[in-house]
Chain A
Amino acid sequence: MHKLQLIGCLLIVSLLLSGCWSKRELNELAIVTALGIDKVDDGFEISIQIVEPSEISAKQPSAGRSPVITYHERGKTVFEAIRKITTLAARKPYFSHLQIVVIGEELAKSNMVDVLDFISRDHEFRNDFNIIVSHEVNAKEVLSILTPIEKIPASKMLNSLQASEKVWGSVLTVNIDDLINTLSNNEESAVISAITMDGSKSLGMSQTNVQQAETSTLLKYIGLAIFKNGQQIGLLNAEDSRGISYLDNKIESTVEIISCPKEGTLTTEITHAQTKIKGRFEGNMPQLKVQITIEQNVGEVECMLNLGEKKTIEMINKRTEELIHKRIEHTLQILQQDYQVDVLSFGEVLHRKDPEKWKKIKKDWLAIFSEMPIHIEVNVKTQALGTMENFPVRNEKNMGE
């Protein structure tokens, strides 16, 4: 009798284990990998990129169907548009595996802060996706391009973003938490990587784009977009974007090209870079100092140089220092004078240094920032020459020319 009761109890309890109230099984999900938001006259147009599960699986040969499907819908708000998508999508979109959010150029230039509210408020959105803006195309078009190698275009966008941040430095990965943090700390200023489309749009949308060795339409990062008051106010070119990366201590590895004494160039590989921003107050005037320590290798020599000499190495160090110094100076000038934005939170450095004095200058910070001189100190060390010393083809005879 006792046993029967126990079994009965277990059976009843097992009813509770069958699932959750709001359960959604895999076959009911449309996994969204990228979300694009554009501004249109009466609100927003959103585009979502959904993976086609059968095309992604490695086993099955492709049936010629596109690996992703992109849907577009307009709505007064982002949330409305997302819910309205169910009228045209086969399944309800599921955002927990979102990899990238593309903000359309027009939206970025008007005001994107309101859009971020939804993204960070909704529970299905996590915080591990990256945010980028589109340049000269709208987000809808960016999401329509098919890419080779990575079947899911969102993965391609994410991977090249991460890879070029790591080895080149002209882009920055920015997730929603970073963005909200920087937008709230400064005068709603931030930097976000910008993507553009290279080639014909209509070709990029068709499967033929990925069927040839030479891809006709490509997605490509071009640099960093600068935001102030939640609006995009400018776009930095690759050089200045790398300047920003240096200043933000985000450079892991990159290359620098310096000119040789006579002619030709020498390319160095930065293997380690560390930037320290130091702030202090002199009286009530804030002072900032940028200290960059760099370790590099010689990567490519296209001129006559005897790398065996210590003098040459010193020359390389000095020229790299000058080059980076110049670039940082230029970048700072753009930030201070052209845009007057403190995207790198220099103010926060001063705030940490002396909260009392910071309070006094906080109101006029942007004005002070645009005027103040920033001392730059670059320190380069060349450690290795690559896998050989002097290139044997360029021998003494050639050198004497």
Chain B
Amino acid sequence: MNKEMISSRQFTIITLLCSIGTAILIIPASITNDVQQDAWIVASIGVIFSLLIIKLFITLGKRTPSFTFPQAIEKIVGKFFGKAINLCFTMLMLLSAGELLYFIGIFMKTEIMPETPSMSFVLLFGIIVMYAAYLGIEVFARSAEILFPVFAFIFIVFVLCISPQIDIGNVQPILEASPSSMVFSTIRFMSLFSFPLVILLIVFPSNVDVQESATKGFYIGAMIGGVVLVTVILLSILVLGPTLTSSRTFPSYALAQRISIGDFLQRIEVIMAAMWITTIYIRMFMYFYASVISMAQVFNIANHRPLIIPLGMISMGLSQVIHPTIIESNLYNQEYWPILATIFMVLLPLMLLIIAMLRHIKAPSN
């Protein structure tokens, strides 16, 4: 079977969009709630520390360059523990995929079409993701490549259109938040921004054509993604003010609603919403694809394709039961997800790296 390959440029784009993911929608509210006008500082610190996390992922990935992440786990810690970890990982990915579907549904339901059952959005979105998973990572990478200019264009328009309404006073006084709340908020930010990038080890480095430039792309993609998030947070605070940013369910959307240039370029928030629908699609695909691949690995199934539809159905079902209300969703993302993400997406790779070092597992030098 031919191995699917993506170019390092495609990988950079996937990293970029994946790191933005759901964060663009929920992060401004959740961290502004805690540290008020200092949220953008927290996010900037988070972006810088994320480089270390990415360094960790890359180092780990390069130890086992020809394996996907689930294969690498089994190689490093052995078959028995490997399967156990992979099973947990699959569950987490599946839950996360369901959660992202839930986000799409709840976003559309809250802001745009409240009478429509969220299942209808979930179904449409789920079918796209399943179809993409069926066609494989190569096709997905190309779709990311097509979506990226759209995303970039909308983002630039968004920033340009909203910047006349900036009020610098909203970010002052700087550094008012207590240091401990800043530390916790930084972790919270990173848990939604850079920790999930561990799923990119599914394709990195095994499915990337040029490893060296992909390594660079990993850093660059995450950096640009971080800059996008910091910009969105900063704009939310500068335009809406910390109070409204933290009280709105989706501040980015409220921000887009504010756009009004000369009384004719206005009411374009739904077009702006295409921005996060794109990034959520990318991250969702990665979660879903990771769950399919690692599920296949757990049961040693050579061809993962038959698993796509059943797992897709499960994640669509999960999206309906995962959070009974948006309050649980906020609580989970504020309090539990950071812990979960730290365990599975930082401590686990770190542990794997240490074991790999101890067992002298590394890339065959040629």
Contacts and interface: CB of A to CB of B under 8 A. Distances in A.
Do these two chains interact?
Answer: yes
B113 A21 contact: yes
Given A123-B111, A348-B169, A22 B116 contact: yes
Interface stretch (B10-18, B237-245, B326-334, B347-355): B237-245
Contacts of B241: 181
A128 B116 contact: no
B4 interface: no
A96, A177, A185, A351: residue with the most chain B Cβ atoms closer than 10 Å:
A177
A20 B176 CA distance: 46
Contacts of A353: 173
Nearest to B169: A352
Nearest to B240: A177
Contacts, number: 45
State the majority secondary structure of interface residues on B: helix
A131 B241 CA distance: 19
B92 interface: no
A123 B110 contact: yes
B254 interface: yes
B115, B117, B173, B267: residue with the most chain A Cβ atoms closer than 10 Å:
B173
Nearest to B243: A184
Nearest to A348: B169
B119 to A, nearest CB: 10
A21 B114 contact: no
A126 B269 CA distance: 11
Nearest to A23: B113
A21 B254 contact: no
Contacts of A352: 169, 172-173
A88 to B, nearest CB: 22
Given A184-B243, A348-B169, A22 B114 contact: yes
B105 to A, nearest CB: 12
Contact of B113 (A20, A96, A180, A355): A20
Nearest to B167: A181
Interface in A173-212: 177, 180-181, 184-185
B258 interface: yes
Contacts of B117: 21
Contacts of B258: 127-128, 177
Contacts of A11: none
A126 B173 contact: no
A16 interface: yes
A22 B121 CA distance: 12
Given A20-B113, A348-B169, A128 B266 contact: yes
How many of chain A's residues touch chain B, expressed as a range? 20 to 34
A38 to B, nearest CB: 27
Contacts of A126: 257, 267
A348 B111 CA distance: 32
B2 interface: no
Contacts of A123: 110-112, 114
Contacts of A351: 173
Interface residues of B, number: 24
Interface string B174-205: 00100000000000000000000000000000
Given A16-B124, A351-B173, A22 B243 contact: no
Interface string B221-257: 0000000000000000000110110000000001001
B303 interface: no
Contacts of A22: 113-116
Interface in A23-43: none
A24 B286 CA distance: 35
A21 B116 contact: yes
Nearest to B124: A16
B120 interface: yes
Nearest to A177: B244
A59 to B, nearest CB: 22
Contacts of B266: 128
A355 B241 CA distance: 17
A317 to B, nearest CB: 30
Contact of A180 (B112, B176, B243, B260): B243
Interface in A206-256: none
A181 B113 contact: no
A32 to B, nearest CB: 16
B116 A20 contact: yes
Interface in A112-132: 123, 126-128
Contacts of A127: 254, 257-258
Contacts of B243: 180-181, 184-185
Interface of A: 16, 20-22, 96, 123, 126-128, 177, 180-181, 184-185, 348, 351-355
Given A127-B254, A351-B173, A355-B173, 15 more contacts: A20-B116, A21-B115, A21-B116, A21-B117, A22-B116, A96-B267, A123-B110, A126-B267, A128-B257, A177-B258, A180-B244, A352-B169, A352-B173, A353-B173, A355-B176
28 contacts: A20-B113, A21-B115, A21-B117, A21-B120, A22-B113, A22-B114, A22-B116, A123-B110, A123-B111, A123-B112, A127-B254, A127-B257, A128-B257, A128-B258, A128-B260, A128-B266, A177-B240, A177-B244, A177-B258, A180-B243, A185-B243, A348-B169, A352-B169, A352-B172, A352-B173, A353-B173, A355-B173, A355-B176
7 shortest interchain CB distances as A-B pairs: A21-B116, A352-B172, A22-B113, A22-B115, A355-B173, A355-B176, A352-B173
